[in-house]
Structure 1
Amino acid sequence: MQLVDIGVNLTHSSFDRDREALLARAYQAGVCQLVLTGTSVADSEQALALCRQLDETGERLFATAGVHPHDAGEWTPDSARQLRELLKDERVRAVGECGLDFNRDLCPRPRQEKTLEEQLALAVELGKPVFLHERDASQRLAEILRHYRDSLAAAVVHCFTGDKQALFAYLDLDLHIGITGWICDERRGTHLHPLVREIPAGRLMLESDAPYLLPRTLRPKPKSGHNEPAFLLEVLREVARHRNESEGALAEHSTACARRFFALPELADR
């Protein structure tokens, strides 16, 4: 069984002393390919550097390059040029993490929207898929995406946590959906249990969002309290249970979906 983790924040400082061991645990668990999330120009540069440093074969580690809505205030006229150069690298497979966050509102909403639109235009120009962030902004995100969707190669709403209306709006736009350990949280994620059955095979992908969103169903829990890609198996189990399908079947179609979306190579079983 092979899994692809489409969203891991491997640049996070909590992993500074443990990245090689963390990847070894992921590979041992069957999480054989990972997409490292870039959330700013500097962070995207670091994600690409880690791909080169920790995967000499170029088969296992890939990255995104983008500016997160929390960091939209840092967008400058030069940001698009810097991201364009990063996105030319064969390891960088998508534009993002970009989007809208009307939950924490760490950046004014008009600035978030402008920064998102700049990155969507860049994705159209380069023919790259988009890795999207959204919190409490599904209606506005869908409105903006409608203007670009016909020209975009593909887009995934990463770490989907929304309601049925938001999910169906995204599916109507032919978007992909990323599910994390949020679904394992009995305090705030149970609404996802019936919704994951509505996501067609071929549109569903799995992600850890490590070091965040440690699955609360995981036993035993790590002493560090941090999530890591090896724990993606817990997300697989929970999603499979609520979709009424086997873990093997879910692993097969979600992995195939991720490889198509990010243009990842097939790997021989190892």
Structure 2
Amino acid sequence: MQQLIDIGVNLTDKQFDNDRKEVIERGIENGVVQMILTGASLKSSKQALEIAKNYPNTLFSTAGIHPHDAKTFTNHTMNELEKLAQHDEVIAIGECGLDFNRMFSPQDIQEKCFEAHLELARKLSMPLFLHERDAHERFCEIFAGFRDLAEKSVVHCFTGNVEQVKKYVSMGFYIGVTGWICDERRGQDLQNAVKFIPLDRLLIETDAPYLLPRNMENKPKNRRNEPAFLPHIVNEIAKYMGVEPEVVAKSATENTRKLFKLPEV
């Protein structure tokens, strides 16, 4: 079985409180040999690190503040994130970025928080785990001042169109693809866009517990996504890219280890 790495697992989510260990084990049984746990607030970043410490060389984490929570951002929280980033398990700054879809934090605060993360990643020479929804143009404008960071960054859970993916690829970003591609209602733009992601810029993820693949047979009754379902997403990506699933798996795994400097297992 080809090794897979899930670059985006929200394992601190309360939906996993009762069976977190089993979820990890099921992922490993299905070929997901490493997972990166998403830090989306100071609290969840600390929690993700603590979980990752229990699974050396298998689980890793990120440290950041999601744009939804940008209103909680202060100089103190950024200092705390910098301390977290000193741990070997923390391999990227983020989840950070812009989300103009639901505007849980004001735009100006989101932008200040985003730029603070970019400055921190530059200071620490670390990769970035990025979020962008309905904010493509402003996202690119802000990143224009940080172009040196693009080649060490992944636009996680990309759901945009052909034009947007071409722009991101031209800037040097890695692109993270989720089970959104399995959605016949909302995923059509992504199904077309993946054709324009070079294999050497592709990363794969579940974004569990969110985005359970809609076209998966025998869906769990709890409607919860988990790393064990990553092989299904790989098959869908391969179908729309016009390559074999093994090619997607091998490329994404090599890219992930290169970007985040993960050990081979």
Identity %: 47
Q: 1:248 to 1:152 in 2, by over 3 A?
A: closer
Could you tell me whether the CA contact under 8 Å between 1:127 and 1:153 is conserved in 2?
A: no
- Amino acid of the structure 2 residue aligned with 1:183: I
Aligned to 2:132: 134
Aligned to 2:71: 73
Map residues 1-270 of structure 1 onto 2, 5 A cutoff: 1-53=2-54, 55=55, 58-151=56-149, 154-267=152-265
Could you tell me whether the CA contact under 8 Å between 1:128 and 1:152 is conserved in 2?
A: no
> TM-score under structure 1 normalisation?
0.96
- Structure 1 residue runs of 4 or more that deviate by more than 2 Å after TM superposition: none
Q: 1:186 to 1:153 in 2, by over 3 A?
A: closer
Deviations 1:209-234 (Å, cap 9, x if unpaired)? 00000000111110111000000111
Q: In angstroms, what is the RMSD of aligned CA positions?
A: 0.9
SS of match in other structure, 1:241: helix
Q: Distance in 2 between matches of 1:36 and 1:151?
A: 21
Unmatched 5+ stretches in structure 1? none
Q: Distance in 2 between matches of 1:131 and 1:109?
A: 19
Deviations 1:60-118 (Å, cap 9, x if unpaired)? 00000000000000011201110100001000000000000000011100000000000
Q: 1:12 to 1:174 in 2, by over 3 A?
A: same
Q: Distance in 2 between matches of 1:176 and 1:99?
A: 15
Could you tell me whether the CA contact under 8 Å between 2:180 and 2:211 is conserved in 1?
A: yes
The answer to which structure has the higher helix fraction is 2
Shift of the alpha carbon at 1:39?
0.3
SS of match in other structure, 1:214: coil
Q: Distance in 2 between matches of 1:124 and 1:160?
A: 23
Shift of the alpha carbon at 1:152?
5.8
Deviations 1:238-257 (Å, cap 9, x if unpaired)? 00011111111111011100
Q: Distance in 2 between matches of 1:47 and 1:247?
A: 30
Q: Distance in 2 between matches of 1:175 and 1:232?
A: 22
Shift of the alpha carbon at 1:153?
6.0
Q: Distance in 1 between matches of 2:8 and 2:251?
A: 17
Unmatched 5+ stretches in structure 2? none
Q: Distance in 2 between matches of 1:83 and 1:20?
A: 26
Shift of the alpha carbon at 1:151?
4.9
Q: Distance in 2 between matches of 1:207 and 1:47?
A: 16
Count of aligned pairs between the two proteins: 264
Q: Distance in 2 between matches of 1:145 and 1:164?
A: 19
Deviations 1:121-150 (Å, cap 9, x if unpaired)? 000000001000011000100111110122
Could you tell me whether the CA contact under 8 Å between 2:162 and 2:192 is conserved in 1?
A: no
Q: Distance in 1 between matches of 2:78 and 2:258?
A: 26
Deviations 1:150-195 (Å, cap 9, x if unpaired)? 2566111000001122111111110000000000001100121221
Q: Distance in 1 between matches of 2:214 and 2:150?
A: 35
